[in-house]
Amino acid sequence: MDSIDIKREENENTINFSDYGIDIDISVSYSFCQSMNESAAEKLNKLVDKDKDDLINSTQELVRIKSVSGEPEEGAPFGEGPALALDKALEIARSLGFNTTNLDGYIGYAEYGQGPDYVGVLAHVDVVAEGDGWKYPPYGAEIHDGKMYGRGTIDDKGPAMAAIYALKAVRDSNLSLTKRVRVIFGSDEETGTADVEHYLDIEAPPVSGFTPDANFPAIYAEKGILTFDLARNLTTKPSDMRIMRILFKKNLTALQGGIAYNIVPDEASAEIITRTPYLVVAACRNFAKETGYNLTAEVANGTVSINSVGLAAHGSVPYKGKNAVMQLFAFLGTLPLISSDMKDAIDFINAKIDMETDGNHLAWLWRMSLPETSH
Pick the catalytic residue: 2, 130, 156, 189?
Answer: 189
CA Rg value for the chain: 25
312 or 36: which carries more pLDDT confidence? Answer: 312
Q: If one looks up domain 242-369 in CATH, what number appears?
A: 3.30.70.360
Q: Which of 53, 52, 183, 60 has the alpha carbon at shortest distance from 123?
A: 183
pLDDT on residue 254: 32
What average pLDDT does the chain have? Answer: 81
Q: What local confidence, expressed as pLDDT, does residue 227 receive? A: 78
* Neighbouring residues of 258: CB distance < 8 A, sequence distance ≥ 6: 248, 249, 264, 265, 266, 325
**Using an 8 Å Cβ cutoff, are 322 and 264 in contact?**
yes
Task: Name the residue ranges covered by the structural domains of the chain.
Answer: 3-210, 242-369
Least reliable range by pLDDT among 206-215, 293-302, 337-346: 337-346
Interatomic CA distance for residues 244 and 314, integer angstroms? 30
Share of the chain above pLDDT 90, in %: 49
Spatial contact of 46 and 169, defined as CB atoms under 8 Å apart = no
CATH class for the region spanning 3-210: alpha beta
Q: How do residues 98-149 score in pLDDT, each as one tens digit?
A: 999 999 999 999 999 999 999 999 999 999 988 878 899 999 999 999 999 9
Catalytic annotation present for 54:
no
Q: Which of 23, 126, 130, 213 is catalytic?
A: 126
- For residue 189, indicate whether it is catalytic: yes
- Vertex 222, ends 70 and 25: CA angle to 5°? 110
**How far is the C-alpha of 66 from the C-alpha of 139, rounded, in Å?**
6
- Where does the pLDDT of residue 368 fall: very low under 50, low under 70, confident under 90, or very high at 90 and above? low
